Structure 1
Amino acid sequence: MKTVSQFLAFTFLIFFSMLMNAQENLITNTHNRESISLNGTWNYIIDTYETGFYNYRWKEKNENDPEAYWNKPVVNNPSDRREHGYTDANTLQVPGDWNSQDNIFKYYEGTVWYQREFDAPNLEENQRTFLYFGAVNYEAHVYLNGKKLGMHKGGFTPFNFEIPQDLLQEKDNFLVVKVDNKRHPDEIPTVNTDWWNYGGITRDVKLLVMPENFIQQYAVQLEQDQDISSAKRKKKFNIEGSLKLNKEAHAEEITVEIPELKVKEKLIANGDQLDFNFTVKKLELWSTENPKLYEVIFNFKGEILNDKIGFRKIEVSGKDILLNGKKVFLRGICLHEEIPLEARRAKNIADAKKLFGWAQDLNANMVRLAHYPHNEYMTRMADSLGVMVWSEIPVYWTINFKSDSVYNKAEKQLKEMIIRDRNKASVIIWSVGNETPVSESRTNFMRKLVETTKSMDDSRLVSAALEVGYNRNKNYIDDPLGEFTDVISVNEYLGWYGDLPGSKAQSNWDLAYNKPLLISETGAGAKGGYQGKKEQRWTEDFQKWYYEETIKMMKRMPENYSGMMPWILSDFRSPRRNHPKFQDGWNRKGLIDNHGNKKKAFYVLKKYYEDKEQEFENPEK
C-alpha cells in the first residue's frame, strides 16, 4: 500500500507532466487552420467556495458525481437532488473578462464555471478534433461530456487538448471550463502586481479540425550566422527553419514554398522533427519602413498550411542595436492589454487597431507589451505595420526565486510565448521579467530563463527590466543579470518617486556593461484634464514637466543609449491606486486618459520621437 507521501509525490509527477507537456503539444498558427469558433455567449456559475469541484472534505469530486459542475444537472425523477444548474439568465461573452461584463464581478477573484453546448463538425475519415484556447486567466480545467480533457496554468498563453473521438457526440456536446483567477504566492505572476487581475476566458476559443498527422509547429527565419551586409551585396540570403509534426512520419514528403521568391523546397520527414535550410535571391528584408511579409506555404500529405512571414536580422554590435545591419533607435511605448475607455481586457482585432493607432500617433516604432504575452492579434498586426515588439512573461517583482516548481511554471509560460510568436518578425526582444530584486537565487533563476530562451530562439535579443543603484548625482547600472542579457534595460522614475522632475538636471548615468542601454520604463501620474502649476502633482502640467526633464536627461545618457519605452500609453486599472480624487483604482501614468484624451505629455514625447527619427534618417545634420 502506498504511503501518503508516495501518493503526493506521484500526484505531483502527473501534474508536473501535464504542465510540461502543454507547450510540447501546442498547435500554432490556428487562424490559418480549419476551425470552428466557440466564441459567443456562455452560461456561468459563480462558485466562490468551489463547491462544484471539491466535496465537503475538500477532496476533488469523483468524475461521475452528479453534483460536480462539469456534469449536466439532469433530473430523471422527482426525488433526484440537484444543487447546481446553468441558465440563460446568467451569461458571459467569450472572449472577454468577467470583471467588465457585470458589476457583480468587478472585484471578483475566484472560480467561475463557464458552460456551452456545440454540435460536432462533419469529420472525414481519420480527422481529429482539438479544443484550443487563446488564453484563460489563470487556471483552467476543461471538461467535455463529463470527462476531463486537461488543465492549464498561465493567464496569457495558449493551450489545446485533443478530444477523443469516442467522447464527441453528434449533437449537444456539453463543454464546461472551470476558470480560477485567484492569486497565489507560488504562481506566475505572484500575489503582488500593479495591474488588474482580469478573470475569465479572455481570448478566442475554437475547435480545430486536423488530419491524422499534421505540422504542429514550425519556425522559419534568416540564418543567424550569415553576414547581413555581405548577403545584401550578393542579393542572396540563407533561410533556415524547423518543423514539428504531431506524430512520427516515415519517409514522407513535405514542401516549403515561397511563391513570390520562386522557392519550392522538397523535404523528407523521418520522425517528428525536421530541420531545413535553403538560399533565396532578391529578398526584401522586413523593417519598420518596409514591413515586407512573404506568403510561406507548407504542404504535408495534401494538407496546406499558410503563413505570412517577414525576414530580418536583429543583433547587437558593441553598444548598438542593429536591424538588418543598420543602427536603430527604439522609439518605444509600454502598454497593457486593456481598452481603458471600456475598462476591460483587449480581445480582438479592433482593439489591436485602437492601441496601435495611438502608438503610431505618438510616432513610436516599438511597443513593450507589458507585463505578459499579449493577444496574438497584437503581434500579427505589429508584423503588418512594421512596429517592433518587446514581449514578456509575468516574472514580476517578488516571486519565489528559490522554488523549483515556480521556476518550472515560469519556463513553461516562456516556452509557450516563444512557440506562439517565433515566426513574428516584429518581435525583436524576449523579456524574462520585470523589476526583480537582486539576490543570488533570483539571478540564477533569471539566468536559466535567459539560457532557455537562447536555446529555443537565437534570432532575437533577450532582456529584462533590471535594477539600478541610485545615487544623488550618479546612477550606476550593475545588476548581475546584465551579464547574461543582450541589452541592458532599466526602469527610471526619478522625479516622480522621490524628488521633483527638476532633480533630473543633476542626474548622470553609467553602466558596468558594454551593451546597448534601454530605458524600459519612465513616467509620472496625471489625471486627464486636471490643470495647474507644474509643481502640482497629478496635473497634466506636472507630467509634461517630468517628460521635458526626462528628455533633457536622455541627451546626457552614455553612448550606449539605444531607446526608451515610457510608462505608459494609456491609463489602466490597478487596485493598488486608491487616491479617491486622482486615481480611483486607476494608474494615471498614461499619456492618454481612460476617456481616450491625449494629455500634454503625449505631445512632448511625440516631438522628441519626431526629432529622433530625423536624427537617424539624417545622421550628418
Structure 2
Amino acid sequence: MKEQSSSMSTTPRPEYPRPQFVREAWTNLNGSWQFEIDHGKSGKERGYEQTGHQLSGTITVPFCPESKLSGVEYTDFMAAVWYKREFTIPDTWMNGRILLHFGAVDYEAEVWVNGTSVGKHQGGYAPFHFDITSHVSSGTNIVTVYAEDDVRSGRQPRGKQSERLHSHGCDYTRTTGIWQTVWLESVPDVYLSDLKVVADPDNACAHLEVKICGNAAGGELSAAARFEGRDVGSQTAVIHGPFVKLTVALSEIHLWEPGHAKLYDLELRLTGKIQASDTVTSYFGLRTVRLDGMAFRINEKSVFQRLVLDQGFYPEGIYTAPSDEDLRKDIEISMDLGFNGARLHEKMFEPRFLYWADQLGYLVWGEHANWGLDITTTESLARFLPEWVEGMERDFNHPSLIGWCPFNETWDRGGTRQDNDVLRIVYEMTKHLDPTRPVIDTSGNFHVVTDIFDLHDYDQNPETFRARYEPMKNGGEVFNTFPERQTYGGQPYFISEYGGIWWNPDQQDEKSWGYGDRPQSEEAFLARYEGLTNVLLDHPMMFGFCYTQLYDVEQEVNGLYTYDRRPKFDPGTIRRINSRKAAIED
C-alpha cells in the first residue's frame, strides 16, 4: 500500500493515523480545542465536563501542552488537564455505529460526549476508542477529555520524561495529555474490529485472524491480496462467531527484506446476512525471523543489525512529530548513515513511524516506556501489562518489527531490587502473544529470562572495549556487566547500546553532556567511532550493535545529528564505517 500523506491541509497531522486498518469514512479531530490546566484535579467538582462550561484557554491537538506546536508551552508539572471541542456528525453516519478514537493520551483519561461519560483508559502510549453512537445526534456535538499525569508517582511508565522540573541527563521534557491524533470513524452495525496477519512465506501463504463486532453469524468474510496491483490470492470464510481464521494462498512470493520493502495490499470485506457490508484495507509483508546459534536470521539470511538508538523526540512537538514527513525523514537519515534499523527507545512509537519503517525496509525493536514504574513488587504488573498487550496487538502486523523488548535497564529503586517475577511474567506473556519474534526481557540489565543476552557498554576506548570481548572468540569467558545479578546462558549476544560519544563543539554550555570525555577534534571523534564500531563488526559472536544515538535530544548531545536534524559529520563517512561486512554475516 503506497499511501501519500497530505501536508497541505490546515489540520495538523491530517494523515490517516492507522495505516494497517483503513476505512474511508472518518473525520480527523486534530486542530484547535479548548484547554485548561487543572492543578488541583478539581475540574469535575466544578463541572468542566458539562456541555455549557467553557475552558479558559486553547491548544492545538495532537501536540502536548509542553510543546511549542501546541501553542501552550507550559513545561512545569501538570496534575491534570482538560480538553473540549465541538464536532459534527453527518446524517449518513447515523445509520451505523460511530467510534471515537485516541491514538494516545498520557496518562489516565476519561472522555465525555455531550456531558455523558463514555469511558476511561489507563496508559499513556496505547490507543483506545469508545462507541459513542448512543450519545450523539446528527449535527453538532461536544467531546470533553480529562487526563491525569504524575511521572513522579512510581505508578506509571514515563519513559524519558523528566521526574525533575527541568530536563537533565538523559531525561527530557515531559508530555501530558493528548499527543496523538483524535478521530471519528463511521462503521456499520456489524463491523470488522481487528486483524492479525501471520506471514508464512515457506508455505506461500498468509494466515489471517479477524475479529468482528456484532452478530455476523451466517455472513461471509472475504480476503483478497494483491502485489503491485496484481491479484495474487483470495479466500472466503463463513462466519459463525466473533472470531474468524482463514488462510490466503499466494501465487507470487516476494520477501520483505531490510532495505527492500516488498509489500502486499490486502482487502477484507464483510458481507452476507448483515444490514450493511464493511470493507477494510491493509497491507502485509512476507518475512521470517529466527535465532540460529549466534546468528539472527531474517528470511534465513544472517543479517547483522546495524541499529541506532532513536528516542522519538522533536524540538517543537516533544513526543509528537510535526508532520508525517518528519517521521519518514528520521528513518531516511538513519539509513543514509548506513544503519538498517533502530531500537525505538523507552517509548511506544506511533503507528505512522512503523508504517514508514515497513515502506522503507527498516528494522525496529518494539519497547515500552518502563522507566519511572516501580517494579519492585508484582503490583506493577497491573500498571504495565495491559498497556504492553495493547501495544503488541497494535503493532503485531508490521514486518519491520523484528523483536520485542518490554523493559530497558531495570535499575533498583530506593535500594530495593526489581521483582524478577515481573520480568518473567511479562516475558512469558509476550512469548505467548507472539511466538514469531524473539524477546529481550530487559535491555542491558538485569536479565531474568531472555531469548537474547544484550549489554550496554559505554567504554570510550576502542582497545579496552575490544579486550573485554576477545576471550569469547575462543570459547573463553563471556563478558557480563553484572555477573552478580544476571547469568549468561548461551543465548545470542549483542551490544545494544554503545558509543554515546559527546560532540557539541558549537554549544559548550554546562548543561550539555554525553558519555565519557569529549574528543578534541572531529578526526578524534571519527577515529573513536570507527574503532568502537569495528570491534563489534569484527566479532563472530555478535549479531548486531546499537549506537547511541541518531540525534541529540535537548541537553544530551551524543547524536550523529543535532536535535533539529542537521548532520554533525559527513553522512558518507559514517555510512562507510557502518556498512562494512560483519564477521557473522553469510
> TM over 0.5: same fold?
yes
Cα 1:601–1:198 shift into 2, 3 Å: farther
Query: Which range moves more in the overlay, 502-511 or 427-436?
Result: 502-511
The DSSP-based 3-state class of the residue aligned with 1:281 is: coil
Encode CA deviations 1:59-107: one digit per residue, 9 max, x unaligned.
Answer: xx4xxxxx31111346xxxxxxxxxx335xx221111121123465023
CA distance in 1, matches of 2:392, 2:521: 38
2:369 counterpart (385, 394, 404): 394
The DSSP-based 3-state class of the residue aligned with 2:184 is: strand
Note if 1:426 corresponds to 2:400: yes
CA contact (8 A) 2:354 2:400 kept: yes
Note if 1:551 corresponds to 2:551: no
Aligned amino acid, residue 327 of structure 1: S
Aligned amino acid, residue 450 of structure 1: Y
2:333 counterpart (344, 358, 361): 358
Measured after TM superposition, the shift of residue 393 of structure 1 is 1.1
Measured after TM superposition, the shift of residue 553 of structure 1 is 3.1
Note if 1:197 corresponds to 2:167: no
Measured after TM superposition, the shift of residue 444 of structure 1 is 1.7
The DSSP-based 3-state class of the residue aligned with 1:123 is: helix
Which runs of no fewer than 5 residues in structure 2 stay unpaired?
Answer: 1-17, 164-169, 272-276, 473-477, 480-487, 509-514
2:258 is aligned to 288
CA distance in 2, matches of 1:597, 1:571: 10
The DSSP-based 3-state class of the residue aligned with 2:387 is: helix
Note if 1:436 corresponds to 2:417: no
CA contact (8 A) 2:327 2:352 kept: yes
Cα 1:202–1:347 shift into 2, 3 Å: farther
Measured after TM superposition, the shift of residue 171 of structure 1 is 3.2
2:565 is aligned to 596
CA distance in 2, matches of 1:185, 1:292: 43
Matching of residues 130-141 of structure 1 within 5 Å:
130-141=99-110
Measured after TM superposition, the shift of residue 34 of structure 1 is 2.1
CA contact (8 A) 1:397 1:437 kept: no
Note if 1:179 corresponds to 2:147: yes
CA contact (8 A) 1:526 1:539 kept: no
Encode CA deviations 1:443-474: one digit per residue, 9 max, x unaligned.
Answer: 32112112211221222221244446xxxxxx
CA distance in 2, matches of 1:536, 1:430: 33
CA contact (8 A) 2:198 2:207 kept: yes
1:251 is aligned to 218
The DSSP-based 3-state class of the residue aligned with 1:339 is: coil
Greater share of helix: 1
Which runs of no fewer than 5 residues in structure 1 stay unpaired?
Answer: 1-26, 54-60, 62-66, 75-84, 469-478, 574-585
Measured after TM superposition, the shift of residue 376 of structure 1 is 0.8
2:490 is aligned to 514
Aligned amino acid, residue 178 of structure 1: Y
Aligned amino acid, residue 136 of structure 1: V
Measured after TM superposition, the shift of residue 587 of structure 1 is 1.5
1:268 counterpart (235, 238, 241): 238
Aligned amino acid, residue 176 of structure 1: T
CA distance in 2, matches of 1:421, 1:458: 14
Structure index of larger Rg: 1
TM (normalized to structure 1)?
Answer: 0.78
Matching of residues 242-391 of structure 1 within 5 Å:
242-259=209-226, 260-301=230-271, 302-340=277-315, 345-346=320-321, 348-391=323-366
1:237 counterpart (194, 204, 215): 204
Aligned amino acid, residue 338 of structure 2: N
CA distance in 2, matches of 1:372, 1:214: 31
- Number of residue pairs matched? 524
Aligned amino acid, residue 465 of structure 2: K
Measured after TM superposition, the shift of residue 386 of structure 1 is 0.5
1:71 counterpart (41, 45, 50): 50
CA contact (8 A) 2:173 2:318 kept: no
Measured after TM superposition, the shift of residue 277 of structure 1 is 2.5
CA distance in 2, matches of 1:110, 1:176: 17
Cα 1:489–1:396 shift into 2, 3 Å: farther
Measured after TM superposition, the shift of residue 568 of structure 1 is 1.3
1:583 is aligned to none
Aligned amino acid, residue 179 of structure 2: T
CA contact (8 A) 1:203 1:347 kept: no
1:576 is aligned to none
Encode CA deviations 1:543-572: one digit per residue, 9 max, x unaligned.
Answer: 545423422432564x33011111111111
CA distance in 2, matches of 1:170, 1:34: 15
The DSSP-based 3-state class of the residue aligned with 2:131 is: strand
1:446 counterpart (415, 423, 426): 423
TM (normalized to structure 2)?
Answer: 0.82
CA distance in 1, matches of 2:360, 2:584: 20
2:34 counterpart (43, 53, 56): 43
The DSSP-based 3-state class of the residue aligned with 1:395 is: coil
Query: Which range moves more in the overlay, 325-334 or 116-125?
Result: 116-125
Aligned amino acid, residue 518 of structure 1: F
CA contact (8 A) 1:298 1:304 kept: yes
Encode CA deviations 1:285-329: one digit per residue, 9 max, x unaligned.
Answer: 111242111111111023211112111111111111111111111
Aligned amino acid, residue 569 of structure 1: L
CA distance in 2, matches of 1:556, 1:447: 33
Q: Identity across aligned pairs (percent)? A: 23
Aligned amino acid, residue 414 of structure 1: W
Measured after TM superposition, the shift of residue 172 of structure 1 is 2.9
CA distance in 2, matches of 1:139, 1:592: 34
Aligned amino acid, residue 545 of structure 2: M
